[in-house]
Structure 1
Amino acid sequence: MNLATRLLIALAGLSGALGVGLSAAAAHITGGNLTTAAQFLLFHAPGLLALAALIAVGAVHPIIAQVAGYLLVLGLVLFCGDLSRRAFAGIALFPRAAPTGGVLLMLGWVLVAVSALLRVRG
Structure 2
Amino acid sequence: MNIWIFLAGLNAALAVGAGAYGWHALGDTPEIRDIFMMGSQYQMWHALGMMGVGLMTYRTPARALHVAGACLQTGIVLFSGTLYSFGGLSMVPVEGAAPFGGGLLMLGWLILAVVGGRKLRAA
- Taking only aligned residues, the RMSD between alpha carbons, in angstroms, comes to 2.1
In the other structure, the counterpart of 1:9 is none
One-letter amino acid of the structure 2 residue matched with residue 66 of structure 1: H
Tell whether 2:75 aligns with 1:75: yes
1:35 Cα deviation after fit:
1.0
For residues 118 and 50 of structure 1, what CA distance do their matches in structure 2 show? 16
SS in 2 for 1:87: helix
Contact 1:86/1:92, CA 8 A, preserved across alignment? yes
For residues 79 and 45 of structure 2, what CA distance do their matches in structure 1 show? 14
Match of 1:36 among 38, 44, 49: 38
In the other structure, the counterpart of 2:111 is 111
1:118 Cα deviation after fit:
2.9
Greater length-normalized contact order (CA 8 Å, ≥ 6 residues apart): 1
Unmatched tracts of structure 1, length 5 or more: 1-29
In the other structure, the counterpart of 1:99 is 99
Alignment TM-score, normalising by the size of structure 2: 0.66
1:44 Cα deviation after fit:
1.7
Unmatched tracts of structure 2, length 5 or more: 1-30
In the other structure, the counterpart of 2:53 is 51
One-letter amino acid of the structure 1 residue matched with residue 54 of structure 2: A
Aligned length: 90
Contact 1:79/1:101, CA 8 A, preserved across alignment? yes
